[in-house]
Amino acid sequence: MPVILAIESSCDETSAAVCADGRMLSNVIANQTIHEAYGGVVPELASRVHQQNIVPAVQQALSNAKVSKNDIDAVAFTRGPGLLGSLLVGVSFAKAFALAKNIPLIEVNHMQAHVLAHFIGDNKPSFPFMCLTVSGGHTQIVLVKDYFDMEVVGQTLDDAAGEAMDKTSKILGLPYPGGPLIDKHARSGNPDVYKFPEPQIPGFDFSFSGLKTSILYFIRDNTAANPNFVQENMADICASVEKRIATILLNKLKKAAEYYDIKDVALAGGVSANTGLRNALKETGEQLAWNTFIPKMEYCTDNAAMIAIAGYYKYLKGEFVGQDITPLARMSF
């Protein structure tokens, strides 16, 4: 019954979690609000705040889980992909902890961990399943054949879905991070008022940069005619953008699920917190008789619980790494 301490520090959330035999005992997430003033994550500031938060986050995770340092059997950490300076803080902490306690170290790929978040709790998809992983840095359709046997069958050629959300919110004058604010405004808007284009990209790949440009021109032209256009129509604009992003994602997901003949379909990553996207997946799932899987909110955006569950399955396979391990800003499956 391994007790695993997990660390996530790939971007701007410092997170620590403890799981015992695959059951999550705690998941502490320290959000960094310092970046709001800059309209995006400032890598150097992110590393410094991780440095400040990492020990308190781990202490809190141990205390919430009611375990002591001596109860930990292994340490799992995010090796990449992510911001190098941020990753270094988590990797160095994990190495030091493992060295001090003489316990194994487990490296975890952040994108695989987003997918494996579906194995926290009782409602688990069965292999093979399809996972749409949508975050601030990635947009991937992943064919999941086993815990660590995953194939990216479609991905974005330019911006990620979360980036499209964040850039749109910036155009609308909303603070960073914009995704949750677009979601909030969209709830009181009509998604059918404005029609934004759907890019025609072959296969299962995505593109969001054209959408961003069309939104930019749309806002520029309408603001020239009415300086209060955005303020007066915020809810309808957000609802329409959100609907377009959701349909772009869902149309490709449908295509991929049909091609690979998959009926278990899951959503993962920060953008899976989006209400419009969650509802769109549920509706499509009902139409196509899919079994749909959507993580609990706390496991959608970056968190160490997903690193802990991925670490648990690696522990069972005895997949450990040495003290010479280094973080990777880019890391494929």
Residue 114 marked as a ligand binder: yes
Burial class (CB within 10 angstroms; exposed 0-12, middle 13-18, buried 19+) of 173: exposed
Other Cβ atoms closer than 10 A to 148: 17
Residue with tokens 């899951």: 266
**Which of Zn ion, ligand KG4, none does residue 165 bind to, with CB < 5 to 8 Å depending on kind?**
ligand KG4
Q: CA 2, CA 104: separation in Å to the nearest integer?
A: 11
- How near is the Cβ of 257 to ligand KG4 at its closest, in Å? 22
**Which of ligand KG4, Zn ion, none does residue 166 bind to, with CB < 5 to 8 Å depending on kind?**
ligand KG4
Residue 203 marked as a ligand binder: no
> For ligand KG4, which residue has the nearest CB?
270
Q: Could you tell me the two tokens for 127? A: 């292999």
The contact set with ligand KG4 (CB under 6 A) reads 11, 135-137, 162, 165-166, 177-180, 182-183, 269-271, 273-274, 301-302
Q: CA 213, CA 271: separation in Å to the nearest integer?
A: 20
Residue 322 marked as a ligand binder: no
Residues 94-153 that bind Zn ion (CB under 5 A): 135
**Which of Zn ion, ligand KG4, none does residue 15 bind to, with CB < 5 to 8 Å depending on kind?**
none
**Which of Zn ion, ligand KG4, none does residue 309 bind to, with CB < 5 to 8 Å depending on kind?**
none
Residue 134 marked as a ligand binder: yes
- How near is the Cβ of 248 to ligand KG4 at its closest, in Å? 14
**C-alpha dist (Å) from residue 121 to 110, 125, 299, 306:** 19, 11, 11, 11
Question: Which residue lies nearer to Zn ion by CB, 159 or 302?
Answer: 302
Residue 86 marked as a ligand binder: no
Question: Which residue lies nearer to ligand KG4 by CB, 219 or 267?
Answer: 267
Q: Does 302 bind Zn ion (CB under 5 A)?
A: yes
Residue 110 marked as a ligand binder: yes
Smallest Cα–Cα separation from 306: which of 15, 81, 97?
A: 15
Smallest Cα–Cα separation from 249: which of 236, 234, 266?
A: 266
**C-alpha dist (Å) from residue 41 to 18, 32, 45, 279, 329:** 27, 9, 8, 29, 15
CB 294 within 8 A of CB 55: no
Task: Give me the DSSP letters along 163-206.
Answer: HHHHHHHHHTTPPSS-HHHHHHHHTTS-TTSS-PPPP--STT-B
- How near is the Cβ of 136 to Zn ion at its closest, in Å? 7
Residue 274 marked as a ligand binder: yes
Residue 241 marked as a ligand binder: no
- How near is the Cβ of 9 to ligand KG4 at its closest, in Å? 12
Question: Which residue lies nearer to ligand KG4 by CB, 95 or 185?
Answer: 185
**Which of ligand KG4, Zn ion, none does residue 179 bind to, with CB < 5 to 8 Å depending on kind?**
ligand KG4
End-to-end CA distance of the chain: 27
CB 87 within 8 A of CB 108: no
Binding residues for substrate, as ranges, are 133-137, 166, 179, 183, 274
Binding site for Zn ion (CB under 5 A): 135, 302
Binding residues, as ranges, are 110, 114, 133-137, 166, 179, 183, 274, 302
